[in-house]
Structure formats: structure tokens, C-alpha cells
Amino acid sequence: MACSFCRASNRDGAKFCGGCGKPLPLVSATGAMLAPAMGAPPPAAPGSPATAAGMQSCPACNAENRVGAKFCSKCGKTIAVSPKPGTGNLGQGTLLADRFLIQKTIARGGMGAVYLVYDMHLKDPALQRDKPWALKEMSESSVPPDQLHDAIKMFQREAAMLAHLDHPSLPRVIDCFEYDAKHYLVMDFIEGDTLDALLRQRSAPFNLNEVVNWARQLMGVIKYLHQQNPLIIYRDIKPGNIMRNAYNHLKLIDFGIARFKRTTTTLNGSVQDAASGTQGYAPPEQWRSGEVTPAADVYALGVTIHQLLTHYDPTTSPTAFRLPLASDIHPAVPRQVAEMLNRAIDPNPQTRLQTIHDFEREFENALTQSRRAAPVSP
């Protein structure tokens, strides 16, 4: 049951919340709510059963509680919780959950860490081959205590979302689990570089043909997300969230702030969501209200393609201001393509291209027109 004070989840029958220690209402056999439990039972007699894996015993009454609970669900007394190891500190050779063998740390940041691991359950016994996977570890130290419950739910929702998707430009998730009071998900290991890393390695834009290839791949995966029921708005399209492998194939990574688009009304009748994204890539309305529509992904895709074609950093432009025309920054960009991107990155969501289908149609039309207008070589 959920605590009415802190909304933490508790097992059925718990008398006190494991998150805040407040008394929980008792439930009768008919399902009726009774008065909260006020008194603590006497300590359990010596020789009580050993604590199960993933559980810890209360020092006051010996009752079993989930690892990480701050208060005993039976007596409400404080449970001394040992500090969790820092994020990104799993060393090479560590066997996690008796299954995933850590090879190395791939990335470490404020929101978590990613490791290269081998799944020992899927080892090929005949050829002794190990398939690499990426293990994502959630950082809890960067989350305020009052937001930790929601952050864990978001992490688990990311795993559940990806586990039900099947597209060549999306990583596949095979597991999501809690171990030693920390949260992990296991997904495809994508060997390559982000487009952001590729941009930082060069001082000039990419050529038009290469960007057209990438743009078509991105339009395809975004169309797939927007066709889900309920549709999924990615909300954070940017070069740093796009991986390119050795075959020049792109994959969208990091679904941490993606959202299912549902009709959710508040007291005043409006649809709301938490404002988040990346400055320069997220459209102005995403920052103002957090409301997301397919036009938000259209905007971010337009900004991303603009940057690949011009090497112009959109994070240097103030929010709600239109980016310079791409052809004015880099004359090799066809004027027709530049003007089409300008309609996609219109700060006004009402006059912007509305759907990824609109974006695809206008993009292909602009390419066709630019080729017709190109001078013919003698």
C-alpha cells in the first residue's frame, strides 16, 4: 500500500511506513480502512528465522524489512541503514547479482554510470564466447531524498518502456533489477560514438549527404515512437543522445525523460507534465509548462539537424529565439533545406511543423527542390 504522507510503497499488512515511519491504516478483512497502528509489538523471541535475501532485520523487534527501509514496517523504530556504495565504483571482475560480470566503466555522470558487462547466464559454453551488454546504474546521491521515490519509478519506467519496443534504432533491454539497495537495467551495448562526440572532434560541419542519411534514420525511429499506443514523446533529441556505430547506423539512447502521451487533466482542466529537457534543444513550451506534444520532438530534431549541417551550438542561443538560417552560417546548405528547418524550429508551437510526418514530407520536398535548382555541370 502507498503511504498517505510520503507516497512510499509498503507491503500489505505493514503497520508503519518504511520511508517516513508514520503509522499506516489497518485494513479489515472486508477491505475497510481502520485506525492507524499506534503501539509497537514486543521484540521477537531469539531464534527467529534468518532474514531473507534482499531484506534486513529491525534491531528493535527482529522483523524483516526491505533493504534500504529507514523505519521498521512492524514497530516503526528507526533502522540503521549502511551507506550505499558510490555510483560508478564497481570494479573490473565484480560479479553483480551472481550474473553480470563487470568489465569496465563506460561512462559516469551526475545521474548514474554505465558499465560494460558480460551476462554469465548467456555465456556460450561451446565456444566460450561472452556477449557484451551495457549495465546502467542509477545514482541516488544526486536525487533529493523527497524525490528519490519518483526517481526510482522513472528509472524503472525507462526500462519497462524500452523492453516493449522493437526497432533497429533503439537499444534492447533484457533486465531491470535491484541489488544491494541500488537499481540497475541491462541493455544492448552499442559500440561507437555519440554524434556530439563526433561534432567535438571536428571544426567543420558534416556534409549534406551524410546528414541526410542520419536524418532519415532519426525520422524513422521517431515515427515509430509516435505511432505507439499511447504514443511516446522522446523529449530529449540531441547529438549527445544519438549513438553511431561502425556501420554508420544510429541508435537513440537514454529514455530517462521520455513520456507516454496520455490525456491527463488537472484540477484546472489543463494537461501538465514536469518541465525537463536540454537547454537549446527542447522547445520553449517544454520549459514553460512541461507539456509535450509530437511538435516538441519535431523542434528538437530540427535543431539537431541544423547543428550537424552548420556546427552551430544551439545552447549559445537564448530560449525562444529562432536560430540563424542554416544556409547563412554554412553556404553549402541548400536554401530550401535551411528554410524547411526554420519552419521545424519555429519557437511558436502553433506555427511550427506539427508532426514527424510533416517534417519528413517537407524535408524530402526541400531536397528535391534543391537538386532541381542546382546548376548543371558543363
Question: Residues 362-371, buried b or exposed e (16+ Cβ, 10 A)?
Answer: bbeebbebbe
Alpha-carbon distance of 264 to 240, in angstroms, equals 30
**pLDDT for residue 87:** 77
Looking only at the bridges linking them, the beta strands covering 33-36 and 25-27 are antiparallel
Long-range contacts of 105-110 (CB under 8 A, 24+ apart): 106/134, 109/139, 110/139, 110/142
Q: What is the dihedral of CA 263, 265, 270, 272, to 10 degrees?
A: -70
**pLDDT for residue 83:** 44
Alpha-carbon distance of 24 to 58, in angstroms, equals 18
Q: Give me the residues of the chain with pLDDT under 70, please.
A: 1, 5-7, 18-22, 26-54, 67-68, 80-86, 110-111, 125-129, 141-142, 256-276, 289-290, 318-320, 375-378
> Can you identify the CATH homologous superfamily of domain 193-373?
Transferase(Phosphotransferase) domain 1 (1.10.510.10)
Helix 294-310 vs helix 356-373: angle between axes, to the nearest 10 degrees?
Answer: 30
**pLDDT for residue 245:** 93
CATH of domain 95-188: 3.30.200.20
Alpha-carbon distance of 170 to 156, in angstroms, equals 17
User: Which parts of the chain fold into alpha helices (H)?
Assistant: 148-163, 195-200, 208-226, 284-288, 294-310, 326-329, 335-344, 356-373
Read off the amino acid at residue 97: A
Alpha-carbon distance of 232 to 254, in angstroms, equals 14
Q: What is the dihedral of CA 199, 200, 201, 204, to 10 degrees?
A: 50
For 359, the grid coordinates are 517534417
196 contacts 239 by C-beta, under 8 angstroms = yes
Burial class for 264, CB neighbours closer than 10 Å (0-12, 13-18, 19+): exposed
Alpha-carbon distance of 336 to 210, in angstroms, equals 17
SS3 153: helix
Alpha-carbon distance of 319 to 345, in angstroms, equals 12
155 contacts 162 by C-beta, under 8 angstroms = no
Domain ranges of the chain: 1-38+54-72, 95-188, 193-373
154 contacts 130 by C-beta, under 8 angstroms = no
**pLDDT for residue 17:** 75
To which H or E segment does residue 117 belong?
strand 112-119
Alpha-carbon distance of 72 to 97, in angstroms, equals 25
Main-chain dihedrals φ then ψ at residue 297, nearest 5 degrees: -70, -35
Alpha-carbon distance of 120 to 133, in angstroms, equals 11
**pLDDT for residue 269:** 36
307 contacts 323 by C-beta, under 8 angstroms = no
